[in-house]
A = this chain, B = another copy of it.
Amino acid sequence: MTNTLYLPELREMLAEQNSAELHEFCIALHPAQTVEFMEGLTAAEAWQVLQHADPNTRAEIFHYFDPERQVEIIETQNRAAIGQLIADLAPDDRVDILNRVRPDVVRELLPLVPAEERRDIHRLSAYPEGTAGAVMTTSFARLSENLTVSQAIEAVRKQAESSETVYYLYVVDDDDHLRGLVSLRQLVLAKPDTVIRDLMERAVVAVEVDDDQEEVASTLSRYDFQAIPVVDHQRHLLGIVTYDDIIDVVREEATEDAQRIGGVAPLRAGYLETHLLTITWKRGLWLTILFFGAMLTARALGSYGQEIQANAWLVFFIPLVISTGGNSGSQSATLVITAMSAGDVSLADWTRVVRRELVTGLLLGGFLGMIGYVAATLVAPNWAAAAIIPMTVLLVVTCGTLLGSVLPMVFRHLGLDPAMMSNPFVAGIIDIVGILVYMETADLMLHAIGA
């Protein structure tokens, strides 16, 4: 993504304080592209470039900087100028960014932000992270239902500058109750003297301010909306969530899911930005739990000490048995967790899921067992004893698919996040089950063949 071709020119313009060309550079491209061209500059240089843009363009370009650069500029550059920048940013953006800035800097900056925006920051930052309130923006266009279409278009013109979208226009009464919705498309297509009341959609789908952001994402994408209004319990319109924030939410939730599946408590920030000790802690918690689980396998094996002494070849297959069980269990858990996240599988489907996993487990276990049998005949004392391996593989793989599919559903049933029933966790449980199944199968079969 880095584009370094233009860097020398940029640096020269800065050295010469060539205001005209720097201004041109700031407005010539889409702000996201402008940012790509500046990637090679230091944060201080980039901020210097932005001084040659008008305040709105400056805020737009700043929006596309990556979070590290945003924080560095805010923490190091002139406080008064930063205070104005913060006022010019989109309401939801500035709260996100300030959350990453050092608290002492925020305390110094807030008095420099104009009063109206400062109040807005306080209001928005009161909503807990992960709720509709925390992702919504408060800059949107409002209309009264008494306007005609041509008056409404005039009203939209006036609000365009301060609105994140002018494509969905929310109709409110004097107390800011959400009454309806018209789209700019409708306004453009309608006769100029039509009254908004007669044009607007009344059954507006809205989310509540404390709804989970994942719910907001699924509602918005179910209806293919560009934006969705956020209301309080009395249906006062508080803000809107737009599709671009929802794309970010979907990405964020997917990453969190994948991390939970992989047995790491979700990181709040990017991998490289998260402190090493934080990551170690988030991983260590799970690893320690799993480690204690694995000590149970040591205990279980210890109790079969005599069988193992008498049949040393059984030891060679311990890793094979438990890793095969663990792998098939991880696969089932992944499939069921992703299917539940995608809405393909609900708890009501549990019998179908179990039946499918049972069949899959028997098929996979039977096939792998046959391969295992061939390997076992090479080291086992006789063909009958070697049959312990396929029998065990069949049982362990089937246990794996069943536990791997059932455990996430049990978690969901208990109201917990099924992705918590992560692959390593499932694998850890199956390890213990696998050892017990292996040793018991060996015990029974060795007795049966009189060894």
Establish whether residues B287 and A335, one from each chain, have CB atoms under 8 Å apart when the complex forms. no
A287–chain B nearest beta-carbon distance, Å: 6
Task: Please pick, from B28, B259, B318, the residue contacting A334 in the complex, using a CB distance under 8 A.
Answer: B259
- A421: interface (CB < 8 Å): no
How far is B286's CA from A160's CA once the two chains are assembled, in angstroms? 55
Spot the interface stretch: A18-26, A69-77, A232-240, A241-249: A241-249
Minimum CB–CB distance for A159 against chain B, Å: 11
Chain B residues contacting A13 (CB-CB under 8 Å) are: none
- B270 in contact with A339 (CB, 8 Å): yes
With A318-B315, A364-B283 in contact, do A298 and B338 touch (Cβ < 8 Å)? no
Are B319 and A308 in contact, with the CB atoms below 8 A? no
Distance (whole angstroms) from the CB of A190 to the closest CB of chain B: 10
Whole-angstrom CA separation of A312 from B311 in the bound complex: 12
A423: which of B28, B280, B371, B423 is its contact (CB, 8 Å)?
A: B423
**Contact assessment for A254 and B247 in the assembled complex, using a CB-CB cutoff below 8 Å:** no
CA separation between A166 and B185, bound complex, in Å? 7
**Among the listed B184, B320, B338, B353, which residue makes an inter-chain contact with A184, where contact means beta carbons less than 8 Å apart?**
B184
- Which of A223, A247, A431 lies at the interface centre, i.e. has the most chain B CB atoms within 10 A of its CB? A247
Q: A263-B334, A276-B356, A338-B258 are in contact. Are A283 and B328 (CB under 8 A)?
A: yes
Would you call A383 an interface residue if the criterion is a C-beta within 8 Å of the partner chain's C-beta atoms?
Answer: no
Q: Considering the chains assembled together, what is the distance between the CA atoms of A157 and B187 in angstroms? A: 10
The stretch of A96-104, A105-113, A129-137, A340-348 in contact with B is A340-348
Stretch from A3-11, A38-46, A289-297 forming part of the interface with B: A289-297
A115 within 8 A of B: no
Interface string of A270-287 (1 = CB under 8 A from B): 111100100110011011
**Contact (Cβ within 8 A) A262 B342:** no
Q: Give Cα A65 to B330, complex, Å.
A: 32
Q: With an 8 A cutoff between CB atoms, is A384 at the interface?
A: no
Contacts of A224 in B (CB 8 A): 32, 244
B188 touches A153 (CB 8 A): yes
| Chain B residues whose C-beta falls within 8 Å of the C-beta of A372 in the assembled complex | 291, 295
Residues of chain B contacted by A335 (CB below 8 angstroms): 259, 262, 264, 267, 271, 279
CB atoms of A322 and B320 under 8 A apart: no
A248 to B279, CA, bound (A): 31
**Chain A at the B interface: mostly helix, strand, loop or mixed?**
helix
Write the chain B residue with the least CB distance to A376: B298
B-facing residues in A20-62 (Cβ within 8 Å):
28-30, 32-33
Complex Cα distance, B299 from A294, in Å, reads 23
Contact check, B271 vs A344: say whether CB atoms are below 8 A apart. Answer: yes
Which bracket fits the contact residues of A? 35 or more
> What is the distance, in angstroms, from A208's C-beta to the closest C-beta of chain B?
17
What B residues does A160 contact at CB under 8 A? Answer: 185, 188-189
- The interface centre, meaning the residue of A248, A257, A290, A424 with most chain B CB atoms within 10 A of its CB, is A424
At the interface, yes or no: A80 with Cβ under 8 Å from chain B?
Answer: no
Residues of B near A375 (CB, < 8 A) are 295, 298
Q: A427 an interface residue at 8 Å Cβ cutoff?
A: yes
> Do the beta carbons of A328 and B287 come within 8 Å of each other?
yes
Establish whether residues B336 and A271, one from each chain, have CB atoms under 8 Å apart when the complex forms.
yes
**Contact flag A342-B250 (CB < 8 Å), given A316-B302, A379-B302:** no
Q: Does A416 contact B (CB under 8 A)?
A: no
Q: B286 to A331, Cβ gap below 8 A? A: yes
Asked whether any CB of chain B lies closer than 8 Å to the CB of A363, the reply is: yes
- Nearest-neighbour CB distance to chain B for A245, whole angstroms, equals 9
Kindly state whether residue A199 has any CB partner on chain B within 8 Å: no
Check A261 for interface membership: any CB of B closer than 8 A.
yes
Is A451 located at the chain interface by the 8 A CB criterion? no
Which residues of A151-199 have CB atoms within 8 Å of chain B's CB atoms? 153, 156-157, 160, 166-167, 184-185, 188-189
Q: A284-B364, A284-B367 are in contact. List 15 more A-B contacts (CB 8 A).
A: A30-B203, A33-B205, A254-B257, A255-B342, A259-B335, A261-B334, A263-B327, A267-B335, A271-B353, A272-B352, A291-B371, A297-B319, A315-B318, A319-B319, A326-B424
6 A-B pairs within 8 Å (CB atoms) are namely A254-B258, A276-B356, A280-B363, A284-B364, A287-B328, A323-B431
